[in-house]
Amino acid sequence: MQAEPTEPRRRSTSGSRNLKRRGDRSPAHPLSPRLTTFDTYRSLLFQSGFDEIEHPAAHCALTYKVDSSITRYLISVVTQESMKTKLCLSLALAFAAFAQPTQAQNHVLGLDTNGVTFEVVARTGAFTGKSELAFTSFSLGATTRKGNILYYVAIPSGGTDPALFAANSKTSAVTVTDLDRNESVRALFFSGRSLYGVLYDALSNSAGVYRINPATGVTSLVVDLSGLDVEPIPGALAKVGKAYSMLVKPEVDSARRQLLTFRLRAGSAAVVEVADKDGVPVQCNKLKPNKAKKDFVCLASAANDTQVDFCRLNSRGVARCVTTLPAIERVGSGHTLLTTDEANYFAFVYVPGEPDNQHLIRLNSRGAIKSNVALPTISIGGHFLTEAPAPTPQK
């Protein structure tokens, strides 16, 4: 335990349903990181039972725009035949519901070093404490979110063994479940309904990916990482397709970085060195996918440096640092790099002269800082409700 603190092609369904829209992009909304394409809404509607309609050969043209106040969506539905109104109306209503900006899309649920769970508005820094339950120490990187529940691993106050905490942001209730293992948990994540953790034991230099039963704390080994001789970097986890990637340090040289890739179903894992095109190691410490380039972004900084570099990283481990973040000293420990759309990123960071609190910055895919707000706390993990872990795998 550590005690630290292409634009999508226009397409239409064939056969009984042929829906088309004007324009190829969903409009950007100022309060929502990115809207999904119309095809996604259509798919959701069909999955929800709207395919059982009286006239399945209906054709609709759906157009939409943001009104002048930029607070709601205007939906215009044109029906070619009056008998098709049911489907068109269903589409319009569902699209309006999905398009409405929700507060959760812009809110981060997090945990600080004092055991306080909090919610922060990512673009303004507005901060609200949710619950507080003291702990003796915590596992850096061991935070994840499912709905309104923030899960994290810590040693309860007065205890000696790690436990899984589940904090409900709506009710402020916190439940604690003892774990059957005492290794440091370097990452937590959900795959479907199952909870997983990347565990590491510094004494035996062993690591593995375990399934965790949140109700009982019982764990089961899924992927054995011990033969790779690596130490997982807390919170530096990303998912692309069916594979998970995580930044790790080789046991023989903690100044180097490697990119670990593992698959849950296959139980397989492999590592590649992280370095620039000339073979010089790049010390990436945070990792998230970038959908447009089909690679990763990482934040890199040496342990004794007082600067943070924004870098691109491909699946072969080749890194290219494109810019140094101005007036940023270091990145917070744990799961402190976030994204909802794999194109814009948020990071909990420290700025010079402010050691006792963090800032939350927003970055674009080129590493340009678009906002910077001060926070009254030190976060060790934060998560968006709609955080996007993976682009759709290419066929």
Whether residues 139 and 120 fall in one domain: yes
| CATH number of the domain enclosing 345 | 2.120.10.80
Whether residues 24 and 63 fall in one domain: yes
Looking at the chain, list the stretches that DSSP marks H as alpha helix, in order from N- to C-terminal side: 38-45, 85-99, 103-106
pLDDT of res. 120: 94
Considering only residues 19 and 326, tell me which one the structure prediction assigns the higher pLDDT.
326
pLDDT for 12 beyond 50? no
| Rounded distance between C-alpha atoms, residue 323 and residue 342, angstroms | 18
Whether residues 63 and 175 fall in one domain: no
The per-type count for the chain, helices as H runs and strands as E runs, is: 3, 28
| Rounded distance between C-alpha atoms, residue 142 and residue 61, angstroms | 46
pLDDT for 4 beyond 70? no
Strand order in the sheet with 107-112: 127-132, 116-121, 107-112, 379-384
Q: What does the CA dihedral 36, 259, 348, 364 come to, rounded to 10 degrees? A: -40
pLDDT of res. 294: 87
Q: Indicate whether 153 belongs to any domain.
A: yes
Q: Indicate whether 9 belongs to any domain.
A: no
Whether residues 266 and 188 fall in one domain: yes
Whether residues 53 and 143 fall in one domain: no
pLDDT for 354 beyond 50? yes
**Stated pTM of the model:** 0.74
Strand ranges in 225-316 using DSSP code E only, listed in sequence order: 230-240, 243-250, 258-263, 268-273, 284-290, 295-300, 309-313
In the three-class reduction of DSSP (H, G, I as helix; E, B as strand; rest coil), residue 127 is classed as strand
pLDDT for 63 beyond 80? no
Whether residues 262 and 365 fall in one domain: yes
Q: Indicate whether 11 belongs to any domain.
A: no
Q: Indicate whether 4 belongs to any domain.
A: no
Sign of CA dihedral 157, 127, 352, 302: positive
Whether residues 87 and 188 fall in one domain: no
Q: Indicate whether 395 belongs to any domain.
A: no
Q: Which of 64, 81, 99 is the last residue of a domain?
A: 99
Name the nearest CA neighbour of 321 among 299, 294, 349: 299
User: Which tokens go with 204?
Assistant: 């035996």
pLDDT of res. 242: 87
Whether residues 172 and 189 fall in one domain: yes
Whether residues 95 and 144 fall in one domain: no
Domain of 277, in residue numbers: 103-384
Q: How far is CA 143 from the centre of its chain?
A: 11
pLDDT band at residue 105 using 50, 70 and 90 as cut-offs: low
| Sequence-separated (6 or more) residues with CB below 8 Å from residue 297 | 287, 288, 289, 290, 310, 311, 312, 313, 345, 365, 367
User: Which tokens go with 117?
Assistant: 């769970």
User: Which tokens go with 233?
Assistant: 């970097």
pLDDT of res. 106: 83
Name the nearest CA neighbour of 351 among 383, 310, 307: 307
Q: DSSP string of 13-29?
A: --TT---EESSSSPPPB
Whether residues 108 and 65 fall in one domain: no
Q: Provide mean pLDDT across the span 144-154.
A: 96
In the three-class reduction of DSSP (H, G, I as helix; E, B as strand; rest coil), residue 64 is classed as strand
Q: Which of 59, 83, 99 is the last residue of a domain?
A: 99
Whether residues 69 and 186 fall in one domain: no
Considering only residues 91 and 364, tell me which one the structure prediction assigns the higher pLDDT.
364
| Sequence-separated (6 or more) residues with CB below 8 Å from residue 49 | none
How many domains is the chain built from? 2
Q: Indicate whether 392 belongs to any domain.
A: no
Q: Provide mean pLDDT across the span 258-274.
A: 97
Q: Indicate whether 162 belongs to any domain.
A: yes
Q: Which of 53, 83, 99 is the last residue of a domain?
A: 99
Name residue, tokens 């820094």.
125
pLDDT of res. 92: 47
Whether residues 255 and 146 fall in one domain: yes
Q: Indicate whether 10 belongs to any domain.
A: no
50, burial (CB in 10 Å: exposed 0-12, middle 13-18, buried 19+): middle
